[in-house]
Structure formats: C-alpha cells, structure tokens
Amino acid sequence: MRTTILAAMLVVVAVALVGCGSGIPSWYPNAPQDPLYLRSANAATSQDMQVAIDKASTGARAELGRMLETKVNALQKRFEDETGVGQEATLLAQFTQATKLVVSTTMNGSKMKDHKTVREGDLYRAFVMMELPIGSANETLLQEIKNNKDLYTRFRASETYKELDTEVQKYEQFKKEMK
C-alpha cells in the first residue's frame, strides 16, 4: 500500500515537471541576431493556451513595428518668472514634458520563428519569437514612401500653417490682455 502511494506521488511529480517544461527558452532574453531578419520575442499568459500564444505573438509583432517605424510626438514647455528685486527676488520655474509613441506600419512577411508554451499552475505562459525579413521590410517601406511622399508633404504644410495660425492668435490674445 505504501509503495503504491509513493509510486502515485512520483507519477504526479513527473507529470507536473513535464507540464512545466524547462522554463524560459534560451532565445527569449536575447533573440538571435541575423542580418537578413528583424526579430522580436515576447511572453504572455492566459488560462487558454492559444490566447497566451496570440497575446505573445501580438506583443512581438508590435515590437517589430516599433523597430520599423515609430512616430514620436513630444512637447516641452518651460516657464520662468522672477519677481522682486535683488536678494528679495523669487524665481519661479516650471518645466513640463510629454511624449507619446505611436506605431502604425504594414509588416508583410512577418512570421513566428519559434515558440514555447509552459504550464504555470492554472495558466499557460507562451514565449514567441517573431521575425520579419529585412528585404521585405525595406521594399514595403520604400513603396510607402513613394506612395505617401506628396500626400505627406501637403499634410505637413497644412499642419504647419494651422500651428502657426494658432500661435499668432495666442500672441494677439496675449497682447490684448496686457493692455
């Protein structure tokens, strides 16, 4: 009886060890470099194995997109005001900075290079490595540049005019308030 219980416990432990796998794959912390591919790795968890894989794949593709094209909007504001005279003067200063990153690109040819799924209690953890052929990425980018060059130039000219007009209106309002 005691031998049967011990054997059953060993089977449970063996199944648990096999279910957990060997942990993090060797390629996860540092995706292997290849001059012909961009590669990105990501991990995600879910109670459903396929959802974990899909989440990790989406995260890895998003990272590939950031490698290809990231639009960065940044705004910095600095204000200084000194009141008083000499040693009684007080300097007030304010600095504000905001940054937003947006990724929107087409990745023709991206595919899953490798993946591993391990069981962690009630969850599945999926490790996924996505890759994108650099030649394909370059062709797509070149075509987008050709297609959007004129449109983008007109858009930026329009946006620049709007920004200038807004700043002029703010300055005119400031002059009125100072009177």
pLDDT, tens digit, for every residue of 54-89?
Answer: 999 999 998 888 887 767 677 778 878 888 888 888
CA 25 vs. chain centroid, Å, equals 22
> Most distant CA pair in the chain: distance in Å?
99
Domain coordinates in residue numbering, the chain: 25-133
Confidence check: pLDDT of 129 > 80: yes
Give the model's pLDDT for residue 100: 77
- Give DSSP secondary structure letters for 52-87: HHHHHHHHHHHHHHHHH--EEEEEEEEEEEEESSGG
**Residue with more model confidence, 81 or 156:** 81
pLDDT per residue over 1-35, tens digit each?
A: 555 444 444 444 444 444 444 689 999 988 888 88
Q: What pTM does this model have?
A: 0.53
